[in-house]
Structure 1
Amino acid sequence: MFKKSLDSIFRTWLAGLVALLPLALTLALIGWVISLLNRFIGPESIVGRVFAALGHPFADSRLAAYLLGTLLLAVALYPLGLAVRSSLKRPLTRLIDLTLRRLPLIGGLYNMADRFVGLLDQKEEADIAAMSPVWCFFGGDGVAVLALMPNPEPIELDGRTYCAVLVPTAPVPIGGGLLYVPTDWVRPANIGVDKLTAIYVSMGITPPPALRRAVADADTAQQD
């Protein structure tokens, strides 16, 4: 009788934990994002000091100067958006091409950031088709990994062709590893980048669509 009572209490407690866990994980993820933003654009960051310098002539308090500087920058983005959407877009793009894109290291970083922002903004000039989710079957028929192929062009290593794939991390897929795997290990996932992101953010709770063997074999035959 006593054992059954303890078992009932434990099951009830476990049900409460399971009910609270999604909310706790959501709050933890939100807290992590806020702390990350505070680290990079908070009052103590380099960007935050720039914001504070913009607002310093109008406010004495450091926090008030930071908030005012942030507000001034946010307001300044509107005329910049008008310029981008108007006929000035092409001259601005040409100016960036003649300056930032030609710098050896900064140009590469800017191109990478521009492609990533283009994916988020769904811009036509962002090569979305070139960055496609794929399945990687290690060993040819072993462990399956859902990854992102940044470039469909294979490279040759020691007489064998390889593809570059990015393997994200869960639950925040903004990092990961760059791997070069044999081309015959790779299959199209037939999903979008948003679906891949949702799968990693959910830590696998959101299942990916099934990959049919017939489709995989047909893709292999086309490549051959």
Structure 2
Amino acid sequence: MSQDKNTDKEHKFGGGFFARIRAYFLAGVLVTAPIAITFAVAIWFIELVDNQIVHLIPDHLNPDTYLRETLGLQIGLPGLGLIVLFVAITLIGALTAGLVGRYIVHAWEVVLNRMPVISGVYSASKQILETLLKNQSEAFRQAVLVEYPRRGAWTIAFVTGNTQGEVKQKLENEQVSIYVPTTPNPTSGFLLFVPKEDLKPLDMPVEDALKLLISLGIVNPSDKKDKMAKIVRKSFKG
């Protein structure tokens, strides 16, 4: 009997020990994985911009040339291309804010609008960016639930505004334009015009709704803050 009790204790000790190790490991993954993915994406983006821009900088203006010839260091400054791009875009914005700059932009738009295909791409991309970057815009500021693609099946959508123009004239009642993204890639989706009363507004921010979509419903914004604590507490029950 005593040997059986010792064996049971050993099994409980071993099972509890490995359960804790597994729980601690999963908790560590929840902490380190998002940080690692964030840094990986940031490094990839920086290298992408650097590879496209750094080689365009004249040697006498490139800080890498100074470091190589003066200090004997050939390290390549990471993010140099990103800094140059930021400065260039800021300067372009400052120049176009003036009278001469606005005239040049207007003349350039006249040329683009007369070119087939390209005019459509330019006007569409400009309208989208203007809508997203305006502080007053309500586009993608509200996450809602809508019955789609059939009654009884619900999906997350984003309100992009009220219907206007011919669309509003052709439709009855008050219609709202919504964007229904696909999962797990929210950059593609469908534009729908639906009655406002058919939508159920969500209290969660747009960022949390996007996380829910991209994770295929695995990441629930309501309990994501308690997930790590639950994993750690579970280890002590073994």
How big is each residue's C-alpha offset from its partner over 1:89-147, in whole Å with a ceiling of 9 and x where there is no partner? Answer: 643552343133443333333334334433553344xx645986442313554221112
Q: 1:211 maps to which residue?
A: none
Partner Cα distance (1:199, 1:52) in 2: 40
Question: Paired residue for 1:17, among 18, 25, 36?
Answer: 25
TM-score by structure 2 length?
A: 0.56
| Pairing 1:166–2:180 present | yes
SS in structure 2 at match of 1:110: helix
Question: Paired residue for 2:125, among 88, 113, 119?
Answer: 113
Partner Cα distance (1:128, 1:115) in 2: 14
Q: Which range moved further: 59-68 or 25-34?
A: 59-68
How big is each residue's C-alpha offset from its partner over 1:152-190, in whole Å with a ceiling of 9 and x where there is no partner? Answer: 54699xxxx9x77331445x74x233366x846984454
Matches within 5 A, 1:93-108: 93-108=105-120
User: What is the number of equivalent residue pairs in this alignment?
Assistant: 192
Partner Cα distance (1:35, 1:186) in 2: 45
| Runs of 5+ consecutive residues of structure 1 not aligned to the other structure | 208-224
Partner Cα distance (1:129, 1:179) in 2: 13
Q: Closer, same or farther in 2 for the Cα pair 1:206/1:67, shift >3 Å?
A: closer
Partner Cα distance (2:134, 2:85) in 1: 24
TM-score by structure 1 length?
A: 0.58
How big is each residue's C-alpha offset from its partner over 1:1-58, in whole Å with a ceiling of 9 and x where there is no partner? Answer: 1221123113312331332232233124314523652575241xxxx1x441233464
Q: Closer, same or farther in 2 for the Cα pair 1:114/1:86, shift >3 Å?
A: same
Q: 1:198 maps to which residue?
A: 208
| Pairing 1:53–2:61 present | no
Q: Closer, same or farther in 2 for the Cα pair 1:116/1:137, shift >3 Å?
A: same
| Runs of 5+ consecutive residues of structure 2 not aligned to the other structure | 1-8, 69-73, 223-238
Identity %: 15
**What's the RMSD between the two structures over aligned residues?**
4.4
Work out which of the two has the higher radius of gyration on C-alpha atoms and give 1 or 2: 2
